[in-house]
Each structure stands twice: as C-alpha cells, then as structure tokens.
Structure 1
C-alpha cells in the first residue's frame, strides 16, 4: 500500500504513512553530521516531512494568484475608467463610478496583502524544514547556515540574494543521487525561474507603487495604474513559479529520503557527508 500522504513510498505505519512522512525514519549508524550544523533543540538525525507544509503553501499560493487576478481586474477597471474620463488633460468621471472603482481597487489590495502575509509565514516554515532536512542529506552542499533559511528574508538588500543561496544548497543536497553516489539529475530551472521572477516582482512592484502614490495629474494616474496592473501580472507569474518550485523540491526530498544513504566510498570520493 502506498503512503496516504505522498503517494510515492510504501506505507509502514498504522495510519498508512511511510517512514519519511511519519517522521520515524532513523539516522543510519556511523554517519555523524558536521558539528554545530543543526541549531540546538533540533534532532540532527531525524528527517521531518515537508509534505503537509508544502500542501498548505500550495493552497495559499493559489489564494495569492486569485487575489492578484482580482487586483488585475480591479486595476484594469480603474485604468479604463480614468482613461475614458480624460478630456483634453482634465479628468471627468462620474462620482459614483469613481467611488465604486476606488473601493474595488483598495479591497483587492487588501486581499493581496492578507494572502501574501499568510503565504510568507507558512512558506518560511516550510523553507526552514527543507533546509534542515537538506543538512542531513548532504551537509557539504551548503554555503549558509540553517538559520539563514529564516533570517535571510529579513535583511534589507541581502534578502535579494541570501534566500537564493540557501535554496541552492537545499536543491543540491535534495537532488536524487545515484546509488553509486555520483551525478545530479534535476535541472535548477524551477529554482532559478522562481527567484528571478520573485526579485523582478519585488523591484518592479515597489517602483509601480511609488509611481501610483506620487501621481497627481490625470495622465500620470492613468500611466501609474497601468504599471500597477503589470506588477500584479508579474506577481501571478512569480506565484505560479513558486508553486512549481515548492512542489518540485518537496518531491525531490521524498525521493532522496527513500533512496537511503550513498556508499561511504562514494562519499569519500566526493568529499562530503551524506546521510539518509
């Protein structure tokens, strides 16, 4: 019988889950981790399944996409209303229509903020879990310590690069390794595309919001509204790519956990420590 959570490995527990999803997979003997690699209070030899968290992240990312689509519609409505009301540089829009468009626009913005905050919290929890699992898979694959899986998001300017470095190490450590310990099989395209879209959305979104906030003349407002709509579309692209990244990395960790530890001779040849 397959695991009821991941549907890829054999169920071994009474509730129908595999050792990885149930968190009961033990560390192999003779495979110590690098000293200080895992923060105090964490179990250095125990994998914790990211499957449940990844499902929550996917659901929340779908909510983000829905909120962004709503915002695109509200933004286009506002933009066309303003553009249609331009008359020789002056804005002539019926007050009730302007009020309705304005309320819809700000309601969409509120929905975006709420869904994005909820997604960010759960995503970071998931990100930390896969980082700790990756430490067990291959402690030599990382250039940044596990704490940066959380802290890297909150350092100004560095948050444009640090989380990517953490994710790159997790991706490398989680990639399915052949039983002889050699070779990597998965392309980094999902990681690279997601991060490029995320950074572009953050930078362009701030620029578009700044333009909209500072616009005073009717034509400036119309142009700024167009930029905000474009930013929302870019946000949808980033959310879709984030969803693919989360699903792909979670699947890779399940496959890597099911593979078991690679032979010690292969580990020595590659100069790293690899644990299941």
Structure 2
C-alpha cells in the first residue's frame, strides 16, 4: 500500500483540466486526419492504378504523380504534422499528471522523467514503458483501485497501430503506400480504423484519469 500524504503544498499541484482538453482536441484532429487518409485510400483503390504503373517505377525512378496521388501526399503530410502536435500535447498532459501524482502520493514515479520522452522511441522497451508510465499515474494515487480498462484498450490499439504496416510508425514511403492502395486496399483501411480507434480510446483515457485525479483533489480539499 502506498502511503498518502495528508496535504501537499498548494503550489505542488498543477492544473490539468486545460491540458486534458487540449490533448483530447488534438486526438480528435489526429483521428480526423487518419479518417481523411482512409478516404483517400478508398479513392485510390476506386480509381485504380494508371496505365503508367505505380509511382515508384523501381531502380530509383519515380513517374510524376497524377492529381489524386499528389493530393494524397498533401493529406499524409498534413496528417503527419497533426499527429506530431498531438504527441507533444499528450506528453505535456501526462507530465502534469505525473507531477500531481507525485505530490498527492508522496512517492517518486516508477519511471524517471527521461522515460516520459524516450520510452516511446527506444525499441523493445517502448512495448511496455509508456503504458507503465500512464498506469503509474493512476495507481500511485489510487493504489486500492483497479486500473481503468480503457488504459489497456488504448495501449492494445496503439500497439496494433504500430504493427499495422501503415500505422503511426511505418517503413513504407508515401509512394509505396499508394501502390498498396492500388493493389489491395483492405489492409490499409484496417490499419486506419485501428489508429482512429486508438485515438478515441486515448481521449477517453485522458478524460477518465484526469477526472479521477481532479475529484480526488477536490475531495481532499487541497
């Protein structure tokens, strides 16, 4: 059982409501960006591959993109920018939640501050450390409660998105994804759906954990 402090200093608690709202809005925009990608995947599949072949002709040769392919490049670039902003806003929210959890519980976080940032990009450990950081935020304040199921839903969908071949991190460049849309669009649409669902689960998780922490603070009269 983690021992709770009776009353942390008022200036030790950081406001999280605004950060949570910003993160939820950013996730909604990221989800919309991936919905747009799915729409363009369908448009490419319906249009079919041009007679000139895929954009990547092989041996380093690329033909000029047609109007639809060119617009897909724009959609993916905008989506990538929105996703990058979403990641930053999410981590800023999580940083505030971690600081409050430390003040409320009187215990240091299980993972050091550097893991908040590098835990997402280091191979292998990025399969569990980010979830561990989020879980620690809740469990350190509410050791007697079960972890909300939405945390596991979010993490499972996130990992599925990473493994989907066209998820948040993928090896294919845009022209290769276009060629995949021409030859078989269903796997692309499945990956799009998983990522949109992960964004929705992340938004619900943020709301759930933030509300619990705010209610605890209010209930204790801090």
- Give the TM-score normalised by structure 2: 0.78
The corresponding residue for 1:12 is: none
1:149–1:166 Cα contact (<8 Å) kept: yes
Query: Per the alignment, do residues 153 and 211 of structure 1 end up closer, same or farther by CA in structure 2, a change over 3 Å counting?
Result: closer
Whether 1:194 aligns to 2:154 is yes
Query: Per the alignment, do residues 209 and 229 of structure 1 end up closer, same or farther by CA in structure 2, a change over 3 Å counting?
Result: farther
The corresponding residue for 2:21 is: 55
The corresponding residue for 1:239 is: 199
1:45–1:136 Cα contact (<8 Å) kept: no
Whether 1:81 aligns to 2:40 is no
What is the Cα deviation at residue 53 of structure 1? 0.8
Q: Which stretches in structure 1 are left out of the alignment for 5+ residues?
A: 1-26, 32-42, 93-97, 178-182, 262-275
Determine which of 97, 101, 104 is the counterpart of 2:68.
101
Which shows bigger deviation, 235-244 or 128-137?
128-137
How far apart in 2 are the matches of 1:171 and 1:187?
7
Query: Per the alignment, do residues 113 and 211 of structure 1 end up closer, same or farther by CA in structure 2, a change over 3 Å counting?
Result: closer
The corresponding residue for 1:127 is: 94
- How many residues were matched structurally? 206
Query: Per the alignment, do residues 91 and 150 of structure 1 end up closer, same or farther by CA in structure 2, a change over 3 Å counting?
Result: closer
The corresponding residue for 1:268 is: none
How far apart in 2 are the matches of 1:73 and 1:206?
15
- Give the TM-score normalised by structure 1: 0.64
What is the Cα deviation at residue 52 of structure 1? 0.8
What is the Cα deviation at residue 67 of structure 1? 0.9
How far apart in 1 are the matches of 2:78 and 2:47?
22
CA RMSD between the two structures: 3.3
DSSP-derived class of the 2:188 partner: helix
How far apart in 1 are the matches of 2:111 and 2:30?
29
Query: Per the alignment, do residues 52 and 190 of structure 1 end up closer, same or farther by CA in structure 2, a change over 3 Å counting?
Result: same
Whether 1:171 aligns to 2:138 is yes
Q: Which stretches in structure 2 are left out of the alignment for 5+ residues?
A: 55-64
What is the Cα deviation at residue 168 of structure 1? 1.0
What is the Cα deviation at residue 157 of structure 1? 2.8
How far apart in 1 are the matches of 2:107 and 2:6?
18
What is the Cα deviation at residue 145 of structure 1? 2.7
How far apart in 1 are the matches of 2:141 and 2:187?
38
2:42–2:181 Cα contact (<8 Å) kept: no
What is the Cα deviation at residue 129 of structure 1? 1.0
How far apart in 2 are the matches of 1:138 and 1:49?
17
2:138–2:147 Cα contact (<8 Å) kept: no
